[in-house]
């Protein structure tokens, strides 16, 4: 009977030591900052996007459009090669402007299909 109790105590002590080591290892990893930090995706600045679109259509327009005349998708994620369209009111008519993100820095190309 004493051998069983001794064995049980040894088993419990060993299990607790293993758990303590695992807890210590996890704590060290967390404090060291090794978990991957999740960064929110970068999105285009809406005002800068609208100004860029205005610059693409203002040549040849009798009245320069304002930011209120531009409708672009909100929260466009910066991703090289991504394409989308904006709508611009120019001289009372609606024009579509095709926008492409050229690189991961958010550089844009905006063209009006004719």
Per-residue confidence (pLDDT) for residue 31, from 0 to 100: 65
Q: Are 57 and 90 in contact (CB under 8 A)?
A: yes
Are residue 33 and residue 71 in the same domain, yes or no?
A: no
Are residue 13 and residue 58 in the same domain, yes or no?
A: no
Q: What is the mean pLDDT of the chain?
A: 82
Per-residue confidence (pLDDT) for residue 75, from 0 to 100: 92
Backbone angles phi, psi at 29, to 5 degrees: -65, -45
User: 70 is in which domain, residue-wise?
Assistant: 46-111
pLDDT in tens, 5-28: 777 788 677 877 777 766 666 776
Per-residue confidence (pLDDT) for residue 30, from 0 to 100: 65
Q: Are 65 and 82 in contact (CB under 8 A)?
A: no
Per-residue confidence (pLDDT) for residue 18, from 0 to 100: 72
Are residue 50 and residue 34 in the same domain, yes or no?
A: no
The pTM for the full model equals 0.62
- Considering its fold, how many domains does the chain have in total? 2
Are residue 31 and residue 64 in the same domain, yes or no?
A: no
Percentage, residues of the chain above pLDDT 90: 36
- Report the SS3 class of residue 111: strand
69: which DSSP letter? G
Are residue 50 and residue 102 in the same domain, yes or no?
A: yes
Question: DSSP secondary structure string, 10-56?
Answer: HHHHHHHHHHHHHHHHHHHHHHHT-SPPPPPPPB--HHHHHHHHHHH
Distance CA 82, CA 105 (A): 12
Are residue 72 and residue 100 in the same domain, yes or no?
A: yes
pLDDT in tens, 82-107: 999 999 998 888 889 999 999 988 89
How far apart, in Å, do the first and last CA atoms of the chain sit? 94
Are residue 50 and residue 67 in the same domain, yes or no?
A: yes
Are residue 91 and residue 107 in the same domain, yes or no?
A: yes
Are residue 34 and residue 50 in the same domain, yes or no?
A: no
């Amino acid at each position: 009977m004493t051998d069983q109790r001794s064995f049980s105590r040894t088993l419990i002590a060993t299990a607790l030591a293993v758990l303590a080591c695992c807890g210590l290892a996890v704590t060290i990893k967390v404090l060291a900052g090794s978990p991957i930090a999740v960064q929110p995706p970068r999105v285009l600045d809406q005002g800068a996007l609208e100004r860029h679109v205005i610059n693409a259509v203002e040549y040849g327009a009798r009245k320069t459009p304002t930011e209120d005349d531009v409708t672009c998708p909100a929260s466009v994620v910066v991703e090289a090669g991504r394409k989308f369209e904006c709508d611009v009111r120019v001289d009372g008519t609606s024009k579509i402007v095709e926008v492409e993100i050229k690189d991961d820095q958010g550089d844009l190309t905006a063209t009006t299909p004719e």
